Amino acid sequence: MTGPPRTLIVCDFDGTVSRKDVGFNLLSHFSGGRWSELDQDFVDGKIGSREAYRRMIDRLSGIEADYRRVARELGEMDPDFAAFVAFCQQDGMAVKIASDGFGLYIRLFLEELGIRGVEYFANEILFEPGPALKADFPFASAECPDCGCCKQELVRKFRDRFDRIVYVGDGISDRCAVPEADLVFAKRSLYHHCLQEGLRTFFFRGFSDILRVFRLRLQGVIFDLDGTLLDSFEPIFRSFRHTFQTLGYDLKLLEGKRNVVGSTLEESLSQLVDPPDVARAVQIFREHYRRTFADGTRILPGVEETLEALSALGLPLAVATNKNGPMAREILEHLGLAKYFREIVGAGEGFPPKPAPDTLLEIARRLGLPPAGIAYLGDSPLDITAGRAAGMETVGIPTGYYPAADLGKEKPTLLCHSIREFIPVAGILQDGIGKEVGSKQ
């Protein structure tokens, strides 16, 4: 490769590269637990980490060898981090560590793992002559008094040298940096922060998850229908009301039942009417819905733009829905969307409904694609469960009946807050995250 790498991965250290928070545990050990109160003030937002570190380290003493020994005992490195770094470096990507912890133990663990070529940015503990220790913050922000190491400023500086920046983190000190990145991998409190702030986010438990996504070459995309591509809530509930009125059921039974839309019609009605009435209710519903679905069914914002963009990438597209298959095809034809899909498979066509993975696996077979090369986009926990069971990468989109927080509990591979957000990600994953790019994403 000629020239500097165009893709940069910035990794937090404590809780990310190290499974444990080495800095917190180290200070707790040498302070006899007195660090916990200061750390709680930091978590509560009363003071920044810089002030917390300064107050505590000024009270400590000791020699560097003792701190290195204890840090080694307290640390637990992610077992796949070294493999991740090797993969990135082999593909010409740069990896840097940005930590609000301390270089003391980052150096130690990089050495022990035999990792070279990874630059790190962190606070330092100064072991000066005499018993007292001092804290140094070489990467603090002059404008913000909070963090010892300002990761936001670092990422902004890196932007001039890299076209694509991937951020990997888990905690409070990462929050200001993630809006500056092109792709974000998050866990723990950082993941929940990204959901709350509407930031597109990959979830990871460890670097094995990140490696899987980096190795992915996206070959196809399957979509759920209702709540993902279409807003069909009103015509569906209108038909539920008509069915109840026809059978003489109290309409109050439908109150608070918005999420039954994601199930098959038979399953939904079996939750609402007496067993002897289910078959008749299904017939009444379908007859009414077929006559009236056009009044109120609409394409969700960004869907046509997304389908055009993914088609332009040459990705085969399909639909997997718990809606009756022929009805789903009729609706998509009516709305002018059927032309985008090679396969549209729904309920009543020989496969158990989602969350069973059978429909998704059958579509993969028809497309001639490995499940691991397919992304499945849906708006419900049921979709994420089905996609994961099929061995596909799952993408949650809270445009239907479940908010982002509910989808986040299911930990999809990626959570987008609109379907449009998947367009640039699809292009990146089709070529591979480390592919050189000519312009910023």
**Any long-range contacts for 173-179 (C-beta under 8 Å, 24+ apart)?**
173/12, 173/49, 173/100, 173/147, 173/149, 174/12, 176/144, 176/147, 176/150, 176/151, 176/152, 177/10, 177/98, 177/151, 177/152
Residue 14 bears catalytic tag: no
Say if strands 393-396 and 374-378 run parallel, antiparallel, or are unpaired. parallel
Euclidean distance between the first and the last CA atom of the chain, given in angstroms as a whole number: 21
Tokens of 162: 């890299």
Helix, strand, coil abundance in the chain, percent, nearest 5: 45, 15, 35
Q: What is the rounded distance in angstroms from the CA atom of residue 425 to the CA atom of residue 430?
A: 8
- 118-143 b/e (C-beta count within 10 Å ≥ 16 → b): bebbbbbbebeeeeebebbbebbbee
Q: Which member of 21, 146, 224, 383 is catalytic? A: 224
Selection from 398, 353, 360 nearest residue 379 by Cα: 398
DSSP string of 75-133, one letter each residue: --B-TTHHHHHHHHHHTT-EEEEEEEEEHHHHHHHHHHHT--S-EEEEEEEE--SSSB-
Tell me how many degrees the CA angle 83-89-93 measures, rounded to the nearest 5.
Answer: 120
Pairing assessment for the beta strands 220-223 and 374-378 based on DSSP bridges? parallel
Of 149, 184, 150, nearest to 164 (Cα)? 184
386 near 357, Cβ under 8 Å?
yes
Using alpha carbons, list the distances in angstroms from residue 37 to 24, 53, 190, 277: 11, 12, 22, 62
SS3 34: coil
How far apart CA 317 and CA 342 sit, in angstroms, is: 6
DSSP H/E element including 395: strand 393-396
Cis peptide before 179 (omega within 30 of 0): no
Distance between CA atoms of residues 78 and 295, nearest Å: 54
H or E segment and range at residue 270:
helix 265-270
List residues with catalytic annotation: 224
